[in-house]
Amino acid sequence: MSVIEEQILEQIKRYDTIIIHRHQRPDPDAFGSQLGLKEILKASFPEKKIYAVGKEVQGLAWMNEDDNFMDVIPDAAYNKALVIVTDTANAPRVDDQRWPDGLEVIKIDHHPNDEPYGDWQWVKDGHSATSTMIFEFYEKLKGQGLVMTKKAARLLYIGIIGDTGRLMYSIDSETFRVVSELFKYDFDYQEIHHAMATISENAAKLSGYVLQNLSILPSGFAYVILTKELLKQFDLKDAGTAFVVPLPSKIDCVKSWAIFEEQDEGNYRVRLRSRTIAINKIANQFEGGGHPMASGAWAQDQGDIDRLINIVDSALSEKQDAEKED
């Protein structure tokens, strides 16, 4: 057991109030690690005040079985609180920017630790999911008072399934071991997979648009640009567009791909994926980062979009040329 895990538990035991944050525009692992940790701590320390804060996302509301998804707390709650931030590599991405107001801050994450914010950092770069880390935290320290519940196990499972593309990416034997342990808590995994696989009629129509309008370069790089005006036509409300990200991977000639989504401010959120070359360092050049095969970035204008496309296209072409020489 590493020393940092012991230190985190010591800090948790010291505080009466613990506030758990995660990143903006949350995905299942953000919610799973945040809410899963909350449930573990509530069961382990019923006398403490444990909160999970951040914006609610309607498209992921099914993850929580309670009526109140996220906690709404006053500023004063931070005065004597321990803050824990899960699954968030960079401080500006933390949802609810009151997080520095806590007396101490702990960062728990599985992305590259390019920004080691907070007083304590437990980072396992390349780990399958932050939700996996939360289970390992419980498992290694359960002899010191930590308690797992069926609800927590369900949330952590959702987080792992979400970040690994249903156990298709960034997995190892440890990932399967943790999933096997979580299954012992007898939650309805079929309900989870149904919820993750089901999309609305408008979402299905946008999926068709993406596949029909995907540009695929000879190098195997594919991309599509989703403008604000286009997205308004599909009326997705709070569902977001995450469901379209895996679609290009279904095409056999596609080796890397990007979804450019225009924001209200006029810039573009970029979801960048690959199955042959590492793209996280490319994302770093565009105010982003992430995993070698799954990263996020930002393009400020069409010029940035063109530059990112050219960089990935060149990297794929260079790899192809090197393989031919071999």
Q: What is the pLDDT of residues 96-146, one digit of tens each?
A: 999 999 999 999 999 888 889 999 999 998 899 999 999 999 999 999 999
Tokens for 277, please give them: 């070359």
Decide if pLDDT at 322 tops 90.
no
What is the distance of C-alpha 201 from the center of its chain? 25
Decide if pLDDT at 321 tops 80.
yes
Which residues are CB-neighbours of 19 under 8 A, at least 6 positions away? Answer: 51, 52, 53, 73, 77, 78, 81, 82, 83, 84, 99, 102
Distance in angstroms (rounded) separating the CA atoms of residues 283 and 319: 18
pLDDT at 239: 62
Beta bridge partners of 216: 222
pLDDT digits (tens, 9 = 90+) for 61-95: 878 876 567 999 999 999 999 999 999 988 999 99
- How close are the terminal C-alpha atoms of the chain, in Å? 43
Distance in angstroms (rounded) separating the CA atoms of residues 28 and 35: 10
Decide if pLDDT at 1 tops 70.
no
Q: How far is CA 108 from CA 42, 102, 286, 315, in A?
A: 18, 16, 24, 32
The arrangement of strands across the sheet holding 120-123 comes to: 49-52, 17-21, 81-86, 104-109, 120-123
Helix (H, G, I), strand (E, B) or coil at 260: strand
What is the distance of C-alpha 63 from the center of its chain? 14
Task: Give the number of other CB atoms < 10 A from CB of residue 239.
Answer: 18
User: Mean pLDDT lowest for which of 17-21, 64-68, 184-188, 317-321?
Assistant: 64-68
Residue 165 backbone zone (phi > 0: left; psi -120 to 50: alpha; other: beta): left
pTM: 0.85
Distance in angstroms (rounded) separating the CA atoms of residues 116 and 112: 9
The mean pLDDT of the chain is: 92
Task: Give the number of other CB atoms < 10 A from CB of residue 164.
Answer: 20
* DSSP structural state of residue 249: G
Q: Using DSSP bridges, classify how beta strands 256-262 and 268-274 pair: parallel, antiparallel or unpaired.
A: antiparallel
User: Contact, 220 vs 248, CB < 8 A?
Assistant: no
pLDDT at 238: 59
pLDDT at 66: 67
Q: Element (H or E) spanning 16, and its range?
A: none
Report the share of the chain in percent with pLDDT over 70.
98
pLDDT digits (tens, 9 = 90+) for 230-288: 999 998 865 678 889 999 999 999 999 999 999 999 999 999 999 999 998 999 999 98
Q: Using DSSP bridges, classify how beta strands 215-216 and 221-226 pair: parallel, antiparallel or unpaired.
A: antiparallel
pLDDT grade for 52, boundaries at 50, 70 and 90: very high
pLDDT digits (tens, 9 = 90+) for 195-218: 888 888 998 999 999 999 999 999
Which residues are CB-neighbours of 87 under 8 A, at least 6 positions away? Answer: 22, 23, 29, 30, 33, 34, 108, 109, 110, 111, 129, 130
Residue with tokens 């509530």: 42
Task: Give the number of other CB atoms < 10 A from CB of residue 168.
Answer: 11
Distance in angstroms (rounded) separating the CA atoms of residues 217 and 223: 9
Distance in angstroms (rounded) separating the CA atoms of residues 182 and 305: 41
pLDDT digits (tens, 9 = 90+) for 53-68: 999 887 788 788 765 6
pLDDT digits (tens, 9 = 90+) for 143-164: 999 999 999 999 999 999 998 8
What is the distance of C-alpha 265 from the center of its chain? 23
